[in-house]
Structure 1
Amino acid sequence: MAKAIQKITLDRSEDIPFDKLELSQKNVRNIKAGVSIEDLANDIALRGLLMSLNVRPVLGDNDEETGRYEVPAGGRRYRALELLIKQKRMAKTEPIPCIVKRGASTSVEDDSLAENVHRLQLHPLDQFRAFQTLHLQGLGEEEMAARYFVSVSTVRQRLRLASVSPRLLDLYANDEMKLEQVMAFSITNDHVRQEQVWDTVSRSHVREPYYIRRLLTEAAVRAADRRAVYVGVEAYEAAGGVVMRDLFEQDQGGWLQDPALLEQLVFEKLKTDAEALKAEEGWKWVDAAIDFPYGHASGLRRFYGERTELSADELARYDEVKAQYDKLDADYAKAEDYSEETETRLEELGNELDRLNDRPHVFDLEEVARGGVFVSLDASGELKIERGFVRPEDEPAGEVDDADDGDNDGNVGVATSVTGGISVNGKPVAVETQEEEDDKIRPLSDRVIEDLTAARTIALRNALASDPIMAFVAALHAFVLKTFFLYGSDSCLEVTMQSAKFGQTQGLGDTVGAKEIEQRHEAWGHDLPKTPAELWDYLVALDEASRQALFAHCVSLSLNAVVQPWNRRPAAIAHAEQLARSIGFDMVDAGWTPTVDNYLGRVTKAHILQAVREAKGEQSAQLIDHLKKPDMAREAARLLEGSGWLPEPLRLAVDETPAVQSNDDAAELVGDNVVEGADADLPAFLAEDADSEDAASEGAEVEEHRHLDPAE
């Protein structure tokens, strides 16, 4: 006969006055964790007790119940109720729902441990969705934060996570996606785009959150971009633009999702600012653009304003403030202790002196009537205003040199579209033909080499300008070559003060070297006399150090180390290498680093992998060799950052010439051997024949070099 299965009976619930309860000392929870007792008390006051207390009768000497009960499970709830009684928010005789356990087969410690261990934490996704449901029911973010004892930002984060594509949330619920990946997807509300990016990353080896964020924002514009700063994020949003925000990491203001709208707002604001400037200052024309190519003012005469003189009152105030500053500074230098008050006062006096010194420049009204202004955006999003340019056709009759006719390098008027003297963003955009992508490392394109060497020329000019001694030597070298060596007059200096133009190379004006050259040129322009007739006396009276600095600046502007397909000049480039070594020049020190725009996005995948392999090793190259070219270029830029890697046209050629030569050895270099030996110092990208799939084309290039040799 089968044995009957014993039925389970559960302990009954009773309402017991709180003053009949006491906390058991056998509760296994001794370490504070989770919501505080104060917060739990407030929650009980709001919604009542959601879970009964687990109690056992306190027995007397004869194992009889005494009418009191101990609480082994639910200790935090007991303390919260106790706090409410102390705060007189609840009576001490208030009945408390309790599960009374009599004749238990398990110990008090066993029950306390089971209640805490068997409690299953809510899955984060259930929590996110619950917050979303409460929000849809009308509960505000601040109220939810108060109810659940979290910050408002935490509530916003959970609501944002709940708004991610349901398909991706299902993957997260099934442990096919990590929480960090869901957080990365939350920066946009576009479910279609979220799913597209997931389909992309799920097929690749790179699934890191940073990569997901990069793909989601690749078509957006950062709020720190100069265009966004200029227009203002508030104005962009007021025009209907959407800003993507990352609630989980620093995003520097987020990403503007509509670049076309942003560009439209920039052009409208630029036009307004240009019209206001033209009307206020009386210029004949104002050209405005987000950016101008480097050398955009080539062929235009530049004139400068004169700083307004201090009035008698301003001069007296300047002398007074300067005396106060000098006395306070001298006394503070003798003091032994630091004084914050003195430091603050010195700063105030210094700022006032700067305000008095920083007076506006006043331009000649006749020049203003025929001159113009270039208005663009600097790197910080502020207006960059370049005043005082005169086009050749606006010069007074008879003042234009006939030799300059048409010698504007095509730059004058190309970047403008004139409408009543105002033009906005009229410059043409050069279209560059992309190389066919394959695994073979082909020679760099002529355009890439030209742009790289243009950047190197700018940086080398800037370095030469800071070394007056070598500038003198470089100029003297060119003069002696032209005087004594009839067939050896090649130099990287165009000492007739011709200056190579780099109008097609984008971004040159934002480089460190170009900015320093521009600032130096601007400073000298304000100091020099206004007419050529006054220049000689000015130079004679100039102190030696200033004269050397001016000489170095002028000589540096003639330096040309650009390699162009129609003007390679191997001997001149070899001389540029010698000059660079002499002044200790290096492109890494000059601030150049490979980016998508200046190199990695313009060469083949094979070149990109070669760069990463050379800088970081084969393992790093294998991490990105499966990516598409745009993604590969971006990842390579990240890997190469700070590595000091340079492409071949920017590297300094290794000098294999012995450090010390005898007189006989030096004598052998005189004459024809000077020219023939120049190839030994050529960079590899010039000294070696470029690979080509077209044998006839290769032969033509060799023949061209053969014709160039006698001239060099």
Structure 2
Amino acid sequence: MSDRRKIADSNKSIMFVPLNKLKKSPKNVRQVPHTKADIQALAASIAAIGMLQYPVVEPEVGPKEKPTGYYLVNAGEGRRLAQLLRAKRKEIKPDEPIRCILDTEHSATEISLAENSVRSPMNPADQYEAFAKLHDEDGMSAEDIAARFGVTAAVVRQRLKLGAVSPKLRDLYRKGDMTLDQLSAFAITEDHERQERVWNELPAFQRSRQSILRALSEGQVRSDDRCAMFIGAKAYARAGGTIIRDLFDQEGGGFFADADLLHRLVREKLQGIAAEIAEEGWRWIVADIELDRAAWARMRRVYAKPLPLSKAERKRLQSLQARYDALCEKHQHDDEMPAKAAEQLGRIEAAIEALRREEYKAKDIARAGAFVTLAGDGSVRIERGFVRAEDESKSKAKAEDDAGQRPAEDADGPTPLSEKLIAELTAYRTSALRNELAQHPATALLALVHALALATFFRGSAGSCLEITPRSAWLSGHAPGIDESVAERQTAERHAAWAKRLPQEAEALWTFLHELSDAERLGLLAHCVSLTANAIRNPRQLGSVSEAHAAVLAHEVRLDMTAYWQPTAGSYFGRVSKERIVEAMREGVSAQAADTIVRMKKQAMAEAAEAALAGKGWLPALLRPDQVAA
């Protein structure tokens, strides 16, 4: 290295210092170190176009103020680390001369602070145009651009998507008349005329990102809709459908533009699944996107029954269950079960399920049908075992009819007693039975469970002398889609579990119940009773006694509605007045937050309230604990 390169240029204060003679300065104000990704990106940029800004250094002095031969980097530590990385990769030599600025006059702290704080970030619109030139003219990929300029490839792709936005709107953003959130929303479509029209037509106070997206995607289906998830983006695209995405959508986001095509694909796929289910021998199959809850409610349901196990299978099941319980007990106090134990538990569960085989009776399959539809998460929902009234067994109906109309006979002979005498004698028997039953609580409980279970699981079966008839309100008629809720799913699972245990014929129910433990009978009783609860407010019964009793029950069971229902734009805010939305914000967030949404349009206000109150536990008065709203 020449002497000229080793000494400072007296005019420009520029000097070349060997890389291995540069050291981190203790005066550098940046305490949080550069990330590994930052250094890698900076190294790539320096390798491509050199260092555009030189490190600022001062000589290191040792004892007695003697120079050590090293230089401290007061500003430019990231560049030093990037060059060291290049040396490690053998792109440059360890003693590569690095152009530096020598500054011994100014405070090192001031220099470091100025470099790290006095900066103006590049306008994203300008950044887009620069990235676009590199991409279009120089053929650089998003990954190449990202590596050279210290940003992620996702950021580069987002900036490139701004090319879909009208130049007029980009100019508005540059002038400060539009936010980046607003600008990015327009990237969902390349129709500049439509973009400009939506911007001009939306009132100034309603130009939120969501409002713009909603206006531009009207008639389209969100990617998280159950139909979109069921078909999938690839299958939809193969069928000729297009997906539009906004600037910040990751892979899998966006909107399915052709709703008609999507719904046709869904029905075709469901019909294909229905054809497979039909091979099981069901009398009928109904396949559609929406479950016909009204038809469902009018039908009786039969369930698959567990197949009997052999002696060896029962022994293996007991062994597996014991291992399962022991493993759970061993790790019951662990915050998270070890991976090996969790894997072992999964294998045991699979083995137990394999032994618990279930099967429908052939006669049930021959007279019952199935529904094939979509669940809320886009998975296929198959509900089997529904018997229509016209398909009920004629012989069974006739037997029940005959049982109800068979005349009573005198035990002493064939001559029938008079109707009046029969009524008198049986009235005395009823009186005596009531008195004795009142003195045998266990039997009364058994009779109650029997009567409720008959009506709940054996529709049309008149097998009890108790005049107790449970009624269950059809909730789907009041709240469409409620069957997908947490409470309804748990109720359905519990109902199905009991139905599989109960005998097939109503005549065997009493014996079955007699053999249950007290706890099991109470569990079945609780389930049957729960289905009769009706706390729906009827306009003709405002302030009714039953509504007050519902509040008492809710208090007794410590009902917490936040575990079952959350206020969203769809479930609540979009369906009440603006005054109520503002009131909710004031109660659940703050008065200041309520004031910020007062001037919004209804839909934008509803969406803002949903976001602000998410996770806050706010409930409308009707759903709050220990309250019966007036």
TM bin, normalised by shorter chain, reads 0.5 to 0.7
SS in 2 for 1:270: helix
Using structure 2 for the length normalisation, give the TM-score: 0.66
Residue identity matched to 2:507: A
Deviation at 1:214, TM superposition (A): 6.1
> Counterparts of 2:393 and 2:45 in 1: how far apart (Å)?
85
**Is the 2:211–2:604 Cα contact (8 Å) retained in structure 1?**
no
Deviation at 1:524, TM superposition (A): 0.9
Asked which structure has the greater RCO (Cα within 8 Å, sep 6+), the reply is 1
Which residue of structure 1 lines up, in the alignment, with residue 561 of structure 2?
A: 588
Which residue of structure 2 lines up, in the alignment, with residue 378 of structure 1?
A: 375
Equivalent residue runs for 1:204-219 within 5 Å: 204=205, 209=209
Which residue of structure 2 lines up, in the alignment, with residue 24 of structure 1?
A: 8
Equivalent residue runs for 1:540-579 within 5 Å: 540-565=514-539, 568=541, 571-577=544-550, 579=552
Deviations along 1:548-605, one digit per CA (max 9) or x if unpaired, are 121122122223333445x538645345345435524546245233333333333444
> Counterparts of 1:589 and 1:74 in 2: how far apart (Å)?
53
The range that moved more, 240-249 or 153-162, is 240-249
Deviations along 1:514-542, one digit per CA (max 9) or x if unpaired, are 22221111111111110011011111111
Task: Describe the shift of the 1:167–1:395 C-alpha distance in structure 2 as closer, same or farther (beyond 3 A).
Answer: same
Deviation at 1:635, TM superposition (A): 2.9
Task: Describe the shift of the 1:402–1:318 C-alpha distance in structure 2 as closer, same or farther (beyond 3 A).
Answer: closer
Deviation at 1:242, TM superposition (A): 3.3
Which residue of structure 1 lines up, in the alignment, with residue 341 of structure 2?
A: 343
Choose which of 491, 503, 506 in structure 2 pairs with 1:529: 503
Which residue of structure 2 lines up, in the alignment, with residue 133 of structure 1?
A: 133
Which residue of structure 2 lines up, in the alignment, with residue 154 of structure 1?
A: 155
> Counterparts of 1:515 and 1:600 in 2: how far apart (Å)?
25
Task: Describe the shift of the 1:220–1:251 C-alpha distance in structure 2 as closer, same or farther (beyond 3 A).
Answer: farther
The number of aligned residues is: 525
SS in 2 for 1:21: helix
Task: Describe the shift of the 1:609–1:172 C-alpha distance in structure 2 as closer, same or farther (beyond 3 A).
Answer: closer
> Counterparts of 1:24 and 1:312 in 2: how far apart (Å)?
94
Equivalent residue runs for 1:464-475 within 5 Å: none
Equivalent residue runs for 1:393-408 within 5 Å: 393-400=390-397
Which residue of structure 2 lines up, in the alignment, with residue 267 of structure 1?
A: 267
Which residue of structure 1 lines up, in the alignment, with residue 289 of structure 2?
A: 290
For the pair 1:520 / 2:494, whether they are aligned, the reply is: yes
Task: Describe the shift of the 1:177–1:87 C-alpha distance in structure 2 as closer, same or farther (beyond 3 A).
Answer: same
Task: Describe the shift of the 1:149–1:369 C-alpha distance in structure 2 as closer, same or farther (beyond 3 A).
Answer: same
Task: Describe the shift of the 1:391–1:120 C-alpha distance in structure 2 as closer, same or farther (beyond 3 A).
Answer: closer
For the pair 1:355 / 2:339, whether they are aligned, the reply is: no
Task: Describe the shift of the 1:229–1:606 C-alpha distance in structure 2 as closer, same or farther (beyond 3 A).
Answer: same
SS in 1 for 2:383: strand
Identity of matched residues, %? 35
> Counterparts of 1:640 and 1:122 in 2: how far apart (Å)?
35
Deviation at 1:178, TM superposition (A): 3.4
> Counterparts of 2:561 and 2:46 in 1: how far apart (Å)?
65
Deviations along 1:53-86, one digit per CA (max 9) or x if unpaired, are 9xxxxxxxxxxxxxxxxxxx99999999999999
SS in 1 for 2:386: strand
**Is the 1:222–1:254 Cα contact (8 Å) retained in structure 2?**
yes
Which residue of structure 1 lines up, in the alignment, with residue 415 of structure 2?
A: none
Which residue of structure 2 lines up, in the alignment, with residue 299 of structure 1?
A: 298
Deviation at 1:650, TM superposition (A): 7.2
The range that moved more, 249-258 or 500-509, is 249-258
Deviation at 1:326, TM superposition (A): 6.8
Deviation at 1:122, TM superposition (A): 5.9
Deviations along 1:313-364, one digit per CA (max 9) or x if unpaired, are 755654565566677778x68999x9958635642553344333443x2112
Residue identity matched to 1:545: A
Equivalent residue runs for 1:502-513 within 5 Å: 502-505=475-478, 506-513=480-487
Deviation at 1:305, TM superposition (A): 1.5
SS in 2 for 1:297: helix
For the pair 1:501 / 2:474, whether they are aligned, the reply is: yes
Task: Describe the shift of the 1:249–1:292 C-alpha distance in structure 2 as closer, same or farther (beyond 3 A).
Answer: closer
> Counterparts of 2:212 and 2:396 in 1: how far apart (Å)?
61
Which residue of structure 2 lines up, in the alignment, with residue 66 of structure 1?
A: none
Deviation at 1:249, TM superposition (A): 7.1
Deviation at 1:274, TM superposition (A): 1.2
Choose which of 361, 365, 371 in structure 2 pairs with 1:364: 361
Which residue of structure 1 lines up, in the alignment, with residue 173 of structure 2?
A: 172
**Is the 2:244–2:254 Cα contact (8 Å) retained in structure 1?**
yes
The structure where helix makes up a greater share of residues is 2
Residue identity matched to 2:394: A
**Is the 1:371–1:388 Cα contact (8 Å) retained in structure 2?**
yes
Deviations along 1:592-631, one digit per CA (max 9) or x if unpaired, are 3333333333344444445445555654444333333333
Choose which of 381, 384, 388 in structure 2 pairs with 1:387: 384
Using structure 1 for the length normalisation, give the TM-score: 0.60
**Is the 2:241–2:257 Cα contact (8 Å) retained in structure 1?**
yes
Task: Describe the shift of the 1:307–1:265 C-alpha distance in structure 2 as closer, same or farther (beyond 3 A).
Answer: same
> Counterparts of 2:495 and 2:349 in 1: how far apart (Å)?
26
Task: Describe the shift of the 1:129–1:363 C-alpha distance in structure 2 as closer, same or farther (beyond 3 A).
Answer: same
Task: Describe the shift of the 1:367–1:185 C-alpha distance in structure 2 as closer, same or farther (beyond 3 A).
Answer: same
Residue identity matched to 1:260: D
Two-structure CA RMSD over aligned residues (Å) = 5.3
> Counterparts of 1:547 and 1:396 in 2: how far apart (Å)?
30
**Is the 2:222–2:255 Cα contact (8 Å) retained in structure 1?**
yes
